[in-house]
Structure 1
Amino acid sequence: MPLELVTLRCLKDNYAYLLHGDEGTVLIDAPEAGPILRELAQRGWTLSAILLTHHHADHTDGVAEIVRKTGATVIGAAADAHRLPPLDLRITPGEPLEVLGEPVAVIDVSGHTVGHVAFHFPQSGYAFTADSLMALGCGRLFEGTPAMMWDSLSRLSALPPETLICSGHDYCAGNGAFALSVDPGNQALRDRLAAVQEAHQPCAPATLALERDTNPFLRVGALRASLGMENAPDADVFARLRAMKDAF
């Protein structure tokens, strides 16, 4: 059976995620402590570890209080250790990691920041991508280059299509509006946005297959002609789309 997944809304539009199984409970990112601690108490779960994707405060500000209350171990990228909360375990993309009895792939998804990692739980079928691959979009490039982010998205796009992409924010309205502006003939995109609006539900989590069909940053091949970039490399088409989104 897959690990139980609980999606928590934090701050204004952030997501944190709890994973629970026979061996305990872990948290992916900690935007703020209150909602996370309340959920743990309501479910009677004991937190054993916090996995951090990157250093931004809206993903880490809750760590200190949660650690004080739970004693959880903090796990994050060795390359980002100098600006993450104090780490008990420093990890490197590609090295073995086991969480709650499952092997976890640590994936370098630099672009939004340098040192950003994603966590893929292949047995349960979850990928925690934070501000790299997002619902209907991708993170703004604060530190990395377009080529770096394109490489990261390509690695994530190669995961199994049924993988549930658990991203870091609910930017559905803005991302959906931009996606429609560059991909207006995409019926799958229109259907996805209509379903979200009808159900009054957020865009995330969503399967990778759905992201491949509707996320413009994974559809550079389908969009290159409309951008007049028929002969351009994929990374250049992505860079154009990211610049357009920044100005949207």
Structure 2
Amino acid sequence: MPLQIHQFPCLSDNYGYLLHDPASGETVCIDTPEADVYLREAAARGWTITQIWNTHWHPDHAGGNEAIKAATGCTITAPAGDAAKIAGVDRAVGQGDTVRLGAWEASVIDVGGHTLGHVAYYVPGAQTAFVGDSLFALGCGRMFEGTAPQFWDSLSRLKTLPPETAICCAHEYTVSNARFALHADPDNAALRDYAAEIERLRADGLPAVPARLDRELATNPFLRADDPAVQARWGGGDAVATFAALRTAKDTFR
């Protein structure tokens, strides 16, 4: 039986994710921005939450841990580098570790940069990666704690995933990200087509997430910091310097 993935809005612009394995009956929360919403969405499907996998420590990702654990008795897995700031952690994980939901296995990927310990969870059997705030459709997270070399290394790890991978990010920032991407890479025809599609989806009230990795590789300027055309405009030949210039520009872009 296939893994069931339920995506739903919470807070002002977060996405919540519940993963359910019908064979074992297990259900995992990817992050916990809003405990009541997660509990309600699980109950509506007859699912019992058995695990939480946190990507990083920020309250809009781990703030619901204690309430969900109190209600369900679930176990909490969190990144080792952020675990001291996360409530209720039962297991701390890092690069190369694996987690399981029934028979489904997920690889833990170090994607530090937004926070020092940020991780992503890649489920190869479902061709899906849950990336928190490390990578967004046409964007990436703000570099609150990490460095440009660290963050570029993190994105480079995500770039090696299979091109058909669905990138499940944690916020609906896609319209604003598209505006900056068009500013950063104005001659990219594939990006112009993608941005127009995003405008249509959002105008119809539909999510622009998840995004396919192959499309992001062709259009997301932060993943293209090693591309000569992007470097010529932003960095002059070095991927880290180009990434840093793009991230700084995005921080003040209006």
Normalising to structure 1: TM-score of the pair?
0.95
* Structure 2 residue 6 is the aligned partner of structure 1 residue 6: yes
Verify the 8 A CA contact 2:133 2:171 in the aligned structure 1.
Answer: yes
What are the within-5 Å matches in structure 2 for residues 36-51 of structure 1?
Answer: 36-51=38-53
1:192 CA drift (Å): 1.6
Among 219, 232, 239, the residue aligned to 1:225: 232
Among 100, 103, 110, the residue aligned to 1:101: 103
How many residues align? The count is: 246
Give the whole-Å Cα distance in 2 for the aligned partners of 1:115 and 1:122: 22
Give the whole-Å Cα distance in 2 for the aligned partners of 1:144 and 1:91: 18
1:5 CA drift (Å): 1.0
1:186 CA drift (Å): 1.6
Verify the 8 A CA contact 1:2 1:125 in the aligned structure 2.
Answer: no
Whichever residue aligns with residue 209 of structure 2, its letter is A
Unmatched tracts of structure 1, length 5 or more: none
1:93 CA drift (Å): 1.8
Whichever residue aligns with residue 246 of structure 1, its letter is D
Q: Relative to 1, partners in 2 of residues 1:92 and 1:198: Cα closer, same or farther, differing over 3 Å? A: closer
1:2 CA drift (Å): 3.8
Among 171, 194, 197, the residue aligned to 1:195: 197
| Pairwise CA RMSD | 1.3
Verify the 8 A CA contact 2:175 2:198 in the aligned structure 1.
Answer: no
1:133 CA drift (Å): 1.1
* Structure 2 residue 248 is the aligned partner of structure 1 residue 243: yes
- The structure 1 segments of at least 4 consecutive aligned residues displaced by more than 4 Å after TM superposition are none
Report sequence identity in percent.
48
49-58 or 17-26, larger mean C-alpha shift: 17-26
Verify the 8 A CA contact 1:96 1:103 in the aligned structure 2.
Answer: yes
1:91 CA drift (Å): 1.6
Q: Match for residue 110 of structure 1?
A: 112
* Structure 2 residue 214 is the aligned partner of structure 1 residue 212: no
Give the whole-Å Cα distance in 1 for the aligned partners of 2:139 and 2:76: 28
Verify the 8 A CA contact 2:79 2:92 in the aligned structure 1.
Answer: yes
